[in-house]
A = this chain, B = another copy of it.
Amino acid sequence: MASITEITVRYAETDAMGVVHHATYPIWFEIARTDYIKNIGLSYSEMERGGVMLPVTAITVKYHTPARYDDKLVVTASITRLTPARVEFAYKLTRDGELLTEGTSSHAFVSSETFKPLNFKAAMPEFFEVLTHSLIENSS
């Protein structure tokens, strides 16, 4: 499965080069990730209330063509890898079908109290199953 998120570029997201500042893209990818989780019927807020957080352990971004103020963009997100301890997402950002930016993010499932790694499959089994199912749909 891949979620689809629409973004309109904010003026505050541009910089003195006249284009979107490069540190903005990880923020958009995070929105796309949230939408992915919503689209499969889950909620990141609910996960936090369940005592689980999903901090970012690594990101990569490749910038092909800059986005500009007021551009209408589309970000797709999909899960590329899932274990009880970790999950990885991939993102593609397009404007009128043209690929502008690509990225990935890696995450660990941790306790919101101790910030220590936990076994997400054991902590929230139904949540984990829904995530797994969305991944299977990915590859089909």
Contacts and interface: CB of A to CB of B under 8 A. Distances in A.
Given A11-B30, A12-B23, A23-B26, A17 B53 contact: yes
Copies per complex? 4
A114 interface: no
Given A11-B34, A15-B15, A30-B11, A62 B57 contact: yes
Interface stretch (A63-71, A77-85, A89-97, A119-127): A63-71
A23 B27 contact: yes
Q: Contact size class for A?
A: 35 or more
Provide the main secondary structure of the chain A interface: mixed
Given A57-B62, A70-B45, A21 B12 contact: yes
B66 A55 contact: yes
Contacts of A50: none
A31 interface: yes
A59 interface: yes
A116 interface: no
